[in-house]
Amino acid sequence: VSEPGEGGFPTLSDLEALASRRVLDHIWAYIEGGAGDERTMRENLRAFERWVLLPRVLEDVSAVDLRTTLLGAQCATPFFIAPMAYLGEIHPDGESGVARAASGAGTLAAFSTLSTHSIEQIAAAAPDGPRWFQLYLQPEFRVSASLVERAERSRFSAIVVTLDAPVLGVRDRQTKGGFAIDSSRPVGSGEDVLPPSRVPVLQGGTYRLRSDAASNWNVVRDLASVTRLPIVLKGVLTVEDARRGVAAGAKGILVSNHGGRQLDGAIATLEALPPIAAALGSEIEVYLDGGIRRADDVLIALALGAKAVGIGRPILWALAVGGATGVGHYLSLLSTELATAMALAGRRSVSEIDRALVERRSVH
């Protein structure tokens, strides 16, 4: 048996199993579960196995540089922390702890509308950032606008609008585990801040959703009119929608299926990425999340056109095991692993991670 290292885990491969023993069953069901039969959640991971790396040798890799800029912000890594809800229920350090760990590493972190700590508390915990604010559209636009204004005042540097949740996905594991996402669960930024609605209600022959589900592309323009911050659209999986987003003024597209938690059967993000990056990668920044677990995943996604990748569940595992220290340790292990992988691949900088690094596996 190996000794747990700093942060409580010696390697990245121990993390999920260790975390499963650190949180209550209903929290574990919430973290781990996906929608429906969890096909999309599994596919997000499998999609990476369809690619192999073609490393180059003798390239002078004596200095490897992981730094990049994301919408103008200097970042130490081409990966960032994806926005996730209710971190304070996983560990008392919560969002403030994650903010401190990310800021300490120079890694960008995105924070959910459904954070247990408020927008202002998160900013105060790590004034230097870099950080983004994730918006769930609220039934009243006035409430969405006020969240965006507060994030701008608290020096968040972009607004990530999540578009794949006009209603929550059908999450069997979460339901069976007894974790309800509803207005009874406290959100740090205010009692009037709501999660996506839970279920469509049959009324007079049609299934009705809350008023925010009536939103169309005009909402991107409406949001752009209340903030100077760049807008990133999260949950886009088609070239058509990515184009519409750019036309509406978005500066970034985050190719995401919410970690397989929304529409089961939706395309794996790594399969959705290449056409979107090819169509729009020169005009705006294109990112991916879903299934990023180790450095080789980061390399594959960047080679296929992502400017950066978001990391979801592994951050929650690290938080469960070691709080803010655990998240810091995770970021440090992944950064070192990425620097190692880049050296082994003959790539000195993020810009050298090009399409020639990957090839689709011929048999799988």
Query: Which residues contact ligand FNR by CB under 6 A?
Result: 30-31, 44, 82-85, 112, 114, 134, 162, 234, 256, 258-259, 261, 289-292, 310-313, 316
Phi, psi angle pair for 232, to nearest 5°? -110, 135
Q: Which helix (H) or strand (E) holds 360?
A: strand 358-360
Binders of ligand LAC in range 166-185 (CB under 6 A): 181
Cβ neighbors of 13 (< 8 A, separation 6 or more) are none
The per-residue b/e assignment along 183-199, b for 16 or more CB within 10 angstroms, e otherwise, is eeeebbbeeebbbbbee
Partner from ligand LAC, ligand FNR, none binding residue 44, C-beta < 5-8 Å depending on class: ligand FNR
Q: How far is the CB of 261 from ligand LAC (least distance, A)?
A: 4
- Specify the residue, 258 or 347, whose C-beta has the smaller distance to ligand LAC: 258
Q: Which of 336, 296, 276, 338 is nearest to 49 (CA)?
A: 296
Binders of ligand LAC in range 299-318 (CB under 6 A): none
91, 117, 258, 329: the active-site residue? 258
- Specify the residue, 118 or 162, whose C-beta has the smaller distance to ligand FNR: 162
| Residue selected from 258, 293, 313, 347 as contacting ligand LAC according to rule CB under 6 A | 258
| 85 part of the interface to ligand LAC, by CB under 6 A | yes
Distance (Å, whole) CA 37 – CA 39: 6
Distance (Å, whole) CA 293 – CA 222: 36
Distance (Å, whole) CA 291 – CA 312: 8
- Specify the residue, 230 or 290, whose C-beta has the smaller distance to ligand FNR: 290
| Residue selected from 177, 195, 305, 314 as contacting ligand LAC according to rule CB under 6 A | 195
- Specify the residue, 115 or 325, whose C-beta has the smaller distance to ligand FNR: 115
Cis peptide bond upstream of 130, omega within 30: yes
Residue with tokens 């991107």: 220
- Specify the residue, 8 or 312, whose C-beta has the smaller distance to ligand FNR: 312
CB neighbours of residue 133 within 10 Å: 28
For the record, the structure tokens of 335 come out as 């950064």
Q: How far is the CB of 191 from ligand FNR (least distance, A)?
A: 17
Task: Report which residue's Cβ sits closest to ligand FNR.
Answer: 312
Per the annotation, the verdict on 258 as an active-site residue is yes
For the record, the structure tokens of 135 come out as 């918006």
Partner from ligand FNR, ligand LAC, none binding residue 313, C-beta < 5-8 Å depending on class: ligand FNR
Chain residues binding ligand LAC by CB under 6 A are: 85, 114, 181, 195, 258, 261
Question: Catalytic positions, please?
Answer: 258
